């Protein structure tokens, strides 16, 4: 039987999963809001689905699996707002549903470690919206839901090298600050592993093994390029947008033991050094 994945929000992570599943014989139905993007999706082997209720409902009727990567909007979760009742009606027929959330739901822990059992205490607007969206999906009876809390995503096209080359990278230093991160290829392999071993109700943190200060990552990227590191800027003196500054409002180290113990995942890129080296090699 053909397995059919509907991606509600066919973004960066969903595209990486599609590239992994298509060679296995999957059909991928990928949503988009801009009709001009349909040819690009089709060229990647993805069947385009316009984000419109009738089209979404028709795609949902075919799907055996759903990946939700569209983030909350002002009105809450956009997929539930559009086809929530239809999803609830099909809950028992679906084999797997994955919801891509964020480690921002844990809030600030002063650099201490958190895991999937840590109480949720988001301190940003984005984190609170994700917490509410998680709860909304969890409230659907019988839905085989899996929640994936993602750290900062990087990968092809989303590495630091271009900004370092152009001299626009900023090495903001806030003493004690660390961030967890995850390569997009590792996101895809964790999702694939979960699909193969569904555990409805499971929650997984997706991050690598090495939470690190952001300025350290930029310094290493510059070293790989043979360039001087970007100059340091003190966080309390740096000019930053409210959005950029909000990322520094939370400081925590995120554990990833569960993806290893339950899903048997061995990270392709267990730290930023391995990930950046691979990105540079891919660039040629």
- State yes or no: pLDDT of 243 exceeds 90: no
Number of domains in the chain: 1
Residue 18 lies in a domain: yes
Residue 258 lies in a domain: yes
- Could you tell me if residue 37 is inside a domain? yes
pLDDT digits (tens, 9 = 90+) for 98-132: 999 999 999 999 999 999 999 999 999 999 999 99
Write out the residue range of the structural domain in which residue 11 sits: 4-152+183-207+254-268
What are the φ and ψ backbone dihedral angles of 275, each rounded to 5 degrees?
A: -65, -45
The whole-angstrom separation of Cα 56 and Cα 94 is 15
Instruction: List all residues 6 or more positions away from 29 whose beta carbon is below 8 Å from its beta carbon.
Output: 4, 5, 6, 7, 46, 47, 49, 59, 62, 63
With respect to residue 228, please indicate whether it lies within any of the assigned structural domains.
no
Over residues 28-62, the pLDDT tens digits come to: 999 999 999 999 999 999 999 999 999 999 999 99
Q: Can you give the CATH number for the domain in which 135 is found?
A: 3.40.50.720
Domain annotation covers residue 129 = yes
Q: How do residues 185-238 score in pLDDT, each as one tens digit?
A: 999 999 999 999 999 999 999 999 999 999 999 999 999 999 999 999 999 999
Model confidence band, residue 284 (pLDDT cutoffs 50, 70, 90): confident
122 within domain boundaries: yes
Q: What is the Rg, in whole angstroms, of the alpha carbon atoms belonging to the chain? A: 19
Answer yes or no: are the C-beta atoms of 214 and 235 closer than 8 Å: no
Domain annotation covers residue 167: no
Q: What is the pLDDT of residues 141-178, one digit of tens each?
A: 999 999 999 999 999 999 899 999 999 999 999 999 99
Residues 6+ apart with CB under 8 A from 217: 160, 181, 272, 276
């Amino acid at each position: 039987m053909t397995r059919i994945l509907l991606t509600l929000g066919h973004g960066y992570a969903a595209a990486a999963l599609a590239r992994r599943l298509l060679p296995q014989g999957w059909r991928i139905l990928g949503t988009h809001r801009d009709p001009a993007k349909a040819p690009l999706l089709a060229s990647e082997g993805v069947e385009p689905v316009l984000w419109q209720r009738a089209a979404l409902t028709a795609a949902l009727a075919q799907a055996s699996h759903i990946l939700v990567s569209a983030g909350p909007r002002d009105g809450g979760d956009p997929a539930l707002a559009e086809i929530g009742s239809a999803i609830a009606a099909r809950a028992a027929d679906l084999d797997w549903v994955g919801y891509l959330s964020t480690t921002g739901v844990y809030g600030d822990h002063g650099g201490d470690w958190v895991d999937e059992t840590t109480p949720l205490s988001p301190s940003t607007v984005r984190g609170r919206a994700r917490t509410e969206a998680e709860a909304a999906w969890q409230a659907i009876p019988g839905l085989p839901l899996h929640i994936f809390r993602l750290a900062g995503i990087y990968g092809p096209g989303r590495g630091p090298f271009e900004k370092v080359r152009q001299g626009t990278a900023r090495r903001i230093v806030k003493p004690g600050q660390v961030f967890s991160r995850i390569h997009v290829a590792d996101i895809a392999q964790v999702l694939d592993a979960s699909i193969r071993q569904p555990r409805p109700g499971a929650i997984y943190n997706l991050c690598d093994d090495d939470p690190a200060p952001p300025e350290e990552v930029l310094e290493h990227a510059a070293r790989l390029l043979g360039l001087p590191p970007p100059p340091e800027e003190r966080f309390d003196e740096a000019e930053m947008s409210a959005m950029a500054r909000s990322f520094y409002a939370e400081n925590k180290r995120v554990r990833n033991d569960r993806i290893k113990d339950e899903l048997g995942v061995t990270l392709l890129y267990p730290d930023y050094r391995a990930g950046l080296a691979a990105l540079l090699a891919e660039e040629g």
